[in-house]
Amino acid sequence: RAKIILSILPVIIIIFIGVTYKIFISNKTMIKESTIALAEEINRGYSALFEGELNTHVIAARNYNLVVSSFDNVLLSNRRNYLNKTTEVFLEHNKDILSFWLDFEKDKCDGLDDKFRNIDRFPETGRLNIGWHRGAGKVERDEVDVLSELDEEYYARPKEEKTEVVLEPYYYSYTNNKSDEILETTIAMPIFSKSGEVIGVTGIDISLESIKQMVDTIKPFGAGFAMLVSYSGNFVSVPD
């Protein structure tokens, strides 16, 4: 899994408005000031729109993490089925989200990793790793990842920082086909044990395609343009 936001998380989507305009010698200051004011107004309006949409996704990610984190209330023998069904149901009821997924450290959920080696889509380690996605147009279960991928950013960052994180935008294909790659980002959160140890991570994948398309339509004065820029300053969408 190679994997914006609101007042409580770093905003990683920023709209920069670039405007081309003619400057007349007699009133160039007035034109410049009004152009900048319009650009700022457009920026605020679209940023608020994006923030509202992303707030909804963050709430879904937190609710999912809360439910998964209560796994120890479920019988050991049924935990994998319970978490698998929970993940599927969350995806089915959140149609604007591409994927819900969870990863546990070895034996930190039910202690049955060795029993589930290479069984029911669990990896050769048997580690509890479940994901459901709709990236290919229908709801289906992910193929599992290998243990080494716990070093990947989507897992390592929330584990190390012990808080929810948002990844830089990236392109990803759920079919391993470059032709259907989707521009997306991930919100990931740690799963804590009762003693405060991070024992796993939950996450959701969100498509940025609709936001990118919306940004592409912003044309101030008919000749201006907008760019989608990540929190780290990487250009996600720029005009041709």
Condensed to tens digits (0 to 9), the pLDDT of residues 29-58 reads 666 676 677 667 767 766 777 777 788 999
- How far apart, in Å, are the Cα atoms of 116 and each of 27, 147, 201, 204? 74, 14, 20, 25
What's the DSSP call for residue 214?
H
- pLDDT computed for residue 55 by the predictor: 86
Element (H, E) at 158: helix 153-161
Q: Which residue has the higher pLDDT, 46 or 141?
A: 141
In the structure encoding, which two tokens stand for residue 13, read together?
Answer: 């989507």
- pLDDT computed for residue 216 by the predictor: 74
Helix ranges (DSSP H) in 69-103: 79-93
Condensed to tens digits (0 to 9), the pLDDT of residues 85-123 reads 999 999 999 999 999 999 999 999 999 999 998 888 788
Tell if the pTM clears 0.75, that is, is over it.
yes
Condensed to tens digits (0 to 9), the pLDDT of residues 162-181 reads 999 999 888 999 888 888 89
In the structure encoding, which two tokens stand for residue 46, read together?
Answer: 């679209």
d(Cα 25, Cα 19) in Å, to the nearest integer?
18
Helix ranges (DSSP H) in 24-68: 28-68
Question: Which residues have a Cβ under 8 Å from the Cβ of 143 and sit 6 or more positions away?
Answer: 121
